[in-house]
Amino acid sequence: MSLAASLTSAPGAGWLRSARFDLIFIIGTTTLALAVGWLVPFDSLLFNVVFILNLWLLGKHHVVSTFTRLCFCKADIARHRFLLIQLPFIVLAGVLAVGFGIGWWALGTIYFYWQWFHYSRQSWGVSQFY
């Protein structure tokens, strides 16, 4: 059996979906992340592009998912009233305080460290499937 045939076959022991998918998932995303992390320091304009792409491609679905859980019916809205109405204003106040008090660079730094932590936890969860 050739290597290509074995990489596209049904999942075996140790693979979630298939060897090809899993290797692209693991090596491809790692390579992309390292490449972006390596390129951004060389061109400061890339920071804004990476930041916006990260928000657009990786952030929106989290927000939508959260709000569909919190606002599915009237009982959910009543139960999560603080999270839906007051907490966004508290977060906005905190973001503005950090931005104006420390500097807007701090928000990007906090965001990327938070993402690093979040992705590390997700990676741990994915590794539990393996």
Q: What was the pLDDT predicted at 44? A: 83
Contact between residue 18 and residue 5 where contact means Cβ atoms under 8 Å apart: no
Residue 90, pLDDT > 90, answer yes
Q: What was the pLDDT predicted at 48? A: 87
Residue 70, pLDDT > 70, answer yes
Q: What was the pLDDT predicted at 8? A: 52
pLDDT in tens, 16-63: 788 888 888 889 988 988 998 888 888 888 888 888 887 888 777 777
The CA–CA distances, whole Å, from 125 to 57, 66, 130 equal 20, 19, 9
> How much is the mean pLDDT over the chain?
83
Residue 14, pLDDT > 60, answer yes
Is the pTM here over 0.85, yes or no?
no
The number of beta carbons lying within 10 Å of the beta carbon of residue 77 is: 14
pLDDT band per the 50, 70, 90 thresholds, residue 12: low
